[in-house]
Structure 1
Amino acid sequence: MNDPFLINFPKLGAPEIGYISVTEQQQLVPFEVKRIFWTYYTPESIVRGRHAHHVTEQVLIAAAGRLTVTTELADGNIQLFRLEDPHVGLYVPPHAWHTMQYSHSAVQLVLASVPYQEADYIRSYEDFKRIWTPKAQ
């Protein structure tokens, strides 16, 4: 199982003309993208996420503004990521509890490995720890 990690997408262009970043299927994203969604106009005081998944893998991208993402694995490993370059994405595996906070102008783009299924979400932190903590042999 992978831990969360950053993905650097190509940054093509120049300051005088602007930039484009691109990836083609499974070049840099480690799964086939089945769903794309974005969040915006989220107040800075709001913490979103607060969940993990059974199977969904995601790549989070700050298409505009800044995202502060905290991931936690069941073994207690906590990582903090500051996303503010639109050519950098954060891979979030299914077994990572994650939260996001946004700058006022942030637009978060999310690439997901499966279509939305409410049953895939683990919304209780206690359930997350119970489901993903390795069992003693």
Structure 2
Amino acid sequence: MSLIKLVNLPSFGDERGGLIAIESDQSIPFQIKRLYYIFGTQSGVSRGFHAHHSLKQIAVCVKGSCRMILDDGQNREQVWLDTPNKGLLIGDLVWREMHDFSDDCVLLVLASEHYDEADYIRDYDEFIRFAYDDTTK
């Protein structure tokens, strides 16, 4: 089963420009409790390198592009985010990395929970232990 799950975001537009509506439990398959965006990432800098115990996210490049790598401990896949009407759904216990940000990249992330440092797994070896331990799921 592929780790790459893209969500189509409803896009409306005409000669005046485009509009994308993002709604909890509609275009986004969860209640949005937090959102943040990453911008101004310097050339050659990568971000992420963590997983979450219990958090769902949608990542959308609202401008520019970046390469996302997702890893569930068995499979490692990559996808380019480069359009504002596609979101990448990232589930629980998925290691994520963000690479190759374009100079103009703005990456919007919608999260199912509020920020909680205790939910982060920042060490890949620890992530692998959780990913293979059925008692933690």
Give the structure-1-normalised TM-score.
0.91
- The answer to whether structure 1 residue 48 and structure 2 residue 57 are counterparts is no
CA contact (8 A) 1:4 1:93 kept: no
| Alpha-carbon distance between aligned partners in 1 of 2:65 and 2:105, rounded to the nearest angstrom | 6
The alpha-carbon deviation at position 10 of structure 1 amounts to 1.2
Report the Cα distance in structure 2 between the residues aligned to 1:134 and 1:36, rounded to whole angstroms. 30
Unaligned runs of 5+ in 1: none
Alignment partners' CA distance in 1, 2:34 and 2:22: 15
Deviation of 1:132 (Å) = 1.1
In the alignment, what sits opposite 1:120? Answer: 119
Shift of 1:113: 0.6
Structure 2 counterpart of 1:90, from 88, 91, 101: 88
Distance apart, 1:120 and its partner CA: 0.4
Query: What residue ranges of structure 2 are gaps of 5+ in the alignment?
Result: none
Q: CA deviation at 1:4?
A: 4.0
Matched-pair contact (CA < 8 Å) for 2:10–2:27 = no
Matched-pair contact (CA < 8 Å) for 1:73–1:96: yes
Query: What is the aligned partner in structure 2 of residue 108 from structure 1?
Result: 107
SS in 2 for 1:25: coil
Note if 1:9 corresponds to 2:12: no
Provide the C-alpha distance between the structure 2 equivalents of 1:85 and 1:73, rounded to a whole number of angstroms: 25
* Contact map agreement 1:34 1:112 (CA 8 A) in 2: yes
Q: Which runs of 4+ in 1 moved over 3 A?
A: none
Q: Kindly state the Cα deviation for residue 29 of structure 1 after the two structures are TM-superposed.
A: 1.3
Q: Post-superposition shift, 1:90?
A: 0.3
- RMSD of aligned Cα (Å): 1.4
Name the amino acid aligned to 1:94.
D
Give 2:97's aligned residue: 99
State the one-letter code of the partner of 1:13. G
Equivalent residue letter for 1:62: C
Contact 2:4 2:79 in 1 (8 A): no
